Amino acid sequence: MYKLLFLILFSSTLLATEVEPLQPLTTTRPAPAFNFPDRDGVAHTLQDYAGQVLVVNFWATWCPPCVRELPALDRLQQQLAADGVVVLGVNLGESAEEIDTFLQRVVDVEFTLLLDPVMHASREWGIRGLPTTYIIDDHGTILFEVLGDKHWDDPVIVEQIRAVTASVN
């Protein structure tokens, strides 16, 4: 009896951790233009990334789900860099100094982090909560919008994003 109960509980745990594929938007839309500085003050625009597939993640240091997914986004960038995918993290409402302190103390990432200290993106992009992540094709069209954290380096998700890059090449 105990073995059966253990198997049922163990099986349900495995099923609960299965990663759901990204759901494409039923109606795609152009990504809003942006002009955000990185932590060194260098401006980045959407146009700078024309012709590339983007994963744009909006996050904050005070958001536990945001913090939880940062390492997976970093691994995603490492896995798909050769395919031309660029991961951008856009921090909402915090200064470069706050982010640098956070990165030194909690988690460090290699992908590009941009700053939106006055949170223009919330309005322009229609962000309803954090984290919010967009997958944008090489023409600047938003194909996927994800509210909440994901296992971005899961093979299912990596292959979905890689499929977007395949249409580019």
- Structural domain boundaries of the chain? 26-166
DSSP 11-62: HHHHHHTPPPPPPEEEEEEEPPP-EEEBTTS-EEEGGGGTTSEEEEEEE-TT
Phi, psi of 99 (to 5 degrees): -70, -40
Q: What is the mean pLDDT of residues 76-99?
A: 97
Q: What is the mean pLDDT of residues 34-61?
A: 97
pLDDT of residue 19: 87
Mean pLDDT of the chain: 90
Q: What is the pTM of this model?
A: 0.89
Strand partners, 102: none
CATH class of 26-166: alpha beta
Q: Residue 10 has what pLDDT?
A: 36
SS3 99: helix
For the stretch 141-156, pLDDT in tens is: 999 999 999 999 999 9
pLDDT at site 3: 39
Q: Per the omega criterion (within 30 degrees of 0), is the bond before 30 cis?
A: no
pLDDT of 169 strictly over 90:
no
Q: Strand 141-147 vs strand 24-30: parallel, antiparallel, or unpaired? A: antiparallel
Quickly state the pLDDT bin for 71 (edges 50, 70, 90). Answer: very high
